[in-house]
Amino acid sequence: MIIVPRRIRLLPLLLAVFLGAVFVGLGVWQLQRAEQKEQLQNRYADRRSAPALRIGPESIGIEDLDFRKVRMRGYFEVRNQFYLSNKLHEHRLGYHVVAPFRFQGSNAAVLVNLGWVPHRSADPNELPPVVIPQAQMELTGSVYRPIRNRFVETEPRVRQETWPLLWPQMNIQYFAERVSYQVLPFIVLLDPKQSSVGFVREWPRPQLRPERNLGYAFQWFAMALAVMITYVVLGLRRRRKFLHS
């Protein structure tokens, strides 16, 4: 009788177990991602339906404000307004206008995204003039924490010395280093119903799509099952060939 070396018979088994474990692990990870996204969607819906929370300088240390509706009183520091470039609205290119909102009677502010304005010139560096009221007012909006894209620069290539600045994306820390007052670590998206100030405001809802992760999980589990089936089928064929020989 011909004896097949044990290490040769163990190699396919170890490979199948390894690949199966990897694919199952990836499937479980996708299930966890789907659950996290579903929880985040529910959290967003709950907070959007909750009454507005009043914020002020004492809110600088509060971490759990994402998606909350907020109210605040103060005035805009129009001398420190800036623009975010390459923003689309109805297939038109433009900017988002952002300005710090100083809380009444304090040395703290929060950045407020006032909405979209179109390009007025063929030169994207020629910023369109905008009018922002400077009087004391009451604002409402929703809290947003920008996600920093490591593949997009967050500072202007040319160091601008005068305001308003033009940036490729939001960078709260970069802004806070250039002003003399405290800046809260989040942004307020101005309520579209606020008629006294602001521009075009159609803020997108978070598109988390947990069902996509469920689909990915199914694919990984199917691949793990395919590996196991392939190992069993090949093993049976090898066994038959061995017995016939």
pLDDT, tens digit (0-9, with 9 covering 90-100), for 149-191: 444 455 555 455 688 888 888 888 889 988 999 999 899 999 9
In this structure, is residue 56 part of a structural domain?
no
**Average pLDDT of every residue of the chain:** 84
**Do residues 203 and 5 lie in contact, with contact meaning Cβ atoms separated by under 8 Å?**
no
User: How many domains are contained in the chain?
Assistant: 2
pTM above 0.85, yes or no: no
Residue 115: which residues within 8 A CB-CB, separation 6 or more?
96, 97, 190, 198, 199, 200, 201
Are 24 and 89 in the same domain?
no
pLDDT digits 0-9 by tens, 90-139: 889 999 999 999 998 889 999 999 999 998 877 777 888 899 998 999 99
Shared domain check, 73 and 38: no
Considering only residues 209 and 225, tell me which one the structure prediction assigns the higher pLDDT: 225
Q: Is residue 146 part of a domain?
A: yes
DSSP state of 200: B
Same domain for 20 and 85, yes or no, is no
The reported pLDDT for the residue numbered 200 is 92
Contact 93, 118 (CB under 8 A): yes
Which structural domain, as residue segments, surrounds residue 92? 68-190
Of 66, 5, 23, 3, which is closest to residue 231 (Cα–Cα)?
A: 23
Same domain as 161, residue 95: yes
